Each structure stands twice: as C-alpha cells, then as structure tokens.
Amino acid sequence: MAGLYLDTSALGRVLLGEPDAETIRDTLAGYDAWWSSALLAVELRRLARREGLEALADRLLANVRLTDVDRASLDRASRLDPVEVATLDAIHLDAAVEPAGRSAINAVLTYDRQLQTGCAHHGLVVEAPVAR
C-alpha cells in the first residue's frame, strides 16, 4: 500500500482552492492511504473557521489517517534533528518519521521549507507539486 503523509501547507491549499489545488488532488489520488498528525486537524479546522469552510475541512479530513499527538510523540519531536525545524513542523516530522519507519508512507506532501529540510535529513521523499 502506497501511503502519503501530508501537512497543512498542502491540504490547506486544497481547502482554499489555491491555483495548485487540482495538482495536489491528482497527487493525492496516486496514493492508497493518506497519513498525518492529529495536529493537521487542528490547523486545518482553524483555517477553515476563519474562511467559513468547516464542512469542506471535515470532508477532507475524513480521508486522512490521523496519528495521535501524545507525550511520547512530543518528546520525540523535541529531540528530533535537524534543530532548525520549528516546533509544529517537528511534530509533523515525528509523525511522518514514525510511520515511515514502519513502511506505512512512501512520501511527504508539504510546501513548508523547514519540514522539507527535515524530511530530507531523515531520507523521506518530498512531494510538492506545482500547478500546471
């Protein structure tokens, strides 16, 4: 099963109907399973509330397998390299690294440069498609 980890920088573009939203949807369609940290639900729903798009956010999130953010994951994220990765990005990175270690994901879909750097550091393939 081909799995994809996604963060808010990617799914938020779909939510907001950004120019690359269709390209992102095409990328998502190429994977059997979508993964993310439960942090995605908080970030996406906060964005959706500001934009009046709560129902769409819920539909998008219904297709994502969310991993829990617990004390153990926060502890791992606090110690994760590289140190330049910001706090919330480190939580996403930890959630991506953990399933990747179990071969659950094949790539990470993100437009966040710090998270991309962290993914490269851990040998994760990064997807960041641009609009055609």
Domain of 9: which CATH number?
Answer: 3.40.50.1010
Question: Does residue 132 belong to any structural domain of this protein?
Answer: no
Query: Which domain, by its residues, includes 87?
Result: 3-127
At residue 35 the predicted structure's pLDDT band, cuts being 50, 70 and 90, is: very high
Question: Does residue 60 belong to any structural domain of this protein?
Answer: yes
Q: What is the pLDDT of residues 108-131, one digit of tens each?
A: 999 999 999 999 999 999 999 876
Its pTM stands at 0.91
Question: Residue 36 corresponds to which amino acid?
Answer: S
Overall number of domains in the chain: 1
What distance in Å separates the CA atoms of residue 95 and residue 48, rounded to the nearest whole number?
22
Count of CB atoms situated within 10 Å of the CB of 122: 16
Q: What is the mean pLDDT of residues 46-65?
A: 98
Place of tokens 């095409």: 26
Question: Does residue 86 belong to any structural domain of this protein?
Answer: yes
